[in-house]
Structure 1
Amino acid sequence: MRKLLPLLFFLTSFISYSQDLLTLKDGTDIESKILEVLLHDVKYKKFNNLNGPTFTIPKSSILIIRYENGTKDIFDIPISQTVLAEPLPKPPTSSELYQMGATDAYSNYRAGNSGRGATFFTSLISPIIGLIPAIACSSNSPRDGNLNFPNSELKKNPSYYSGYKHKATRIKKGQIWKNWGIALGINVTAITLLVKGQY
C-alpha cells in the first residue's frame, strides 16, 4: 500500500493540473481550457466539453486563473499597483506655454492699422516729424481686443498670455518702424532725384 501512495499522489497532482481553473469574484470555480486572454475578456471552453461552444467572460468578473502548468494570473489588482500601458501626458511647463503663446501670436495676431498709417503719412511729409507717432504708437502694447487669441481657455493662463502679448507687441513695433523706414526711403529717393535733376 505504501508503494501505491506516491503513485496516487502523482496521478492526483497530474489530474488537478490537467485543466485550467477560472475562479470568479463571486467564488465560482470553472474547470476550463483557456483559449485566449484578451485586453478586456477571456475566451475558454468548459473542460468537460472541449468540443463544445467557446465562452467569453469579462476580465472584470475574474479573480484568478490557475493554468494547467501551475502558473496563474490574478486580475483583482488595485489600480494603484497596475502599470499603465501609456503614461499620462505631462502638462506643459510655463516656458512651453510662453513659447506656445508666442507661436500663436505669430500665426494669429494681425496688427491692423495700429498707428502704421499715421506714422507712414507723417513720415512722408517729414521723417523727423514721423518719429513722433512712430515712438508713441510703438511704445504701447496692443489692446486685448485686438490680439485675436485663437483659444480663450489658454488666454487665461498667465504664461501663455505673456508669450502671446510679448510677441504681438514686437510684431506691432516691427510694422510701425517698417512703415517709418519705407517713408524715409521714399523721402531720400525723392531728394536724390531732385538734386540730380538740378545738375
Structure 2
Amino acid sequence: MNQNNHVKIEVADPSALGLFGLAMVTLVASASKFGLINGVSMVIPWAIFLGAFAQLVACLNDIKHGNVFGTTAFGAYAFFWFGMAMSWMVQLGVFGEAMKAAADPKAFGFAFLGYLIFTLFMTVGAVETNKTLLIIFVLIDFLFLGLTCSTFGIAPHAMHTVAAVAEISIAIVALYGSAANVLNKTFGREFLPLGKPLGIFKK
C-alpha cells in the first residue's frame, strides 16, 4: 500500500526584512547624494548587506510563498545593489588601476534605464498589493528617472535632486512598511494600516 505524506513547512512573510533592507540602504545612499557623507566608500557595506543580502533573503523566502511579485521585486533590487557595490569598488580601484581607468560611468545610465523600465511595470503590479508598496514603487520610479537623466547629462543638477529626494522618501516609507508588517503580524490585527489594493486590474 502506497502512502504519500505531504509535509507543509511554514515560512514567515519576509516583507518586513526586505523593506527594512531597502530602507537602510536608501537612507545611507541618500545621505551621500545630499552631501551629508563623503563619497560612496561607506555606502558599499550597506549596499551589500542590507540592500543586497537582506532583500535576497526576502526573495528566497517569497519563492516558498509562491509570491511571484515579491520574489521578482526583492530579487531584482538585491542584485541591483550587488551590481552597484561592485561598480563603486571598480571606480575606487579595488580591482586594480586598469579596471578603474577603463570604467565608463555611462554604463550606470543604461543600468538605471533598464531598472526604470522594470520598476514601471512592477508599479503596475503594485497597484494590486497595498498602497504603501505602491507609494514605494512610484518613488523608485522617480529615483531611477532622476538617476538615468543625471547620468546621461539631462538636467543633471535638477535630476540629481529628484533622485536624492525620492531616495530619502523611499527610506521613510519603507521603514513604515517594515514596521507595519512586523507589528500587524505580531498583534494579529491592523496596528498600522498598509492601505488596501486599488482594485483596478483585478476583478
Q: Shorter-chain-normalised TM-score: which range? A: under 0.3
* TM-score (norm. length: structure 1): 0.24
Question: Greater helix percent: which structure?
Answer: 2
Give the greater-gyration-radius structure (CA): 1
Question: Greater strand percent: which structure?
Answer: 1
Q: Select the structure with the greater relative contact order (CA < 8 A; seq sep ≥ 6).
A: 2
* TM-score (norm. length: structure 2): 0.24
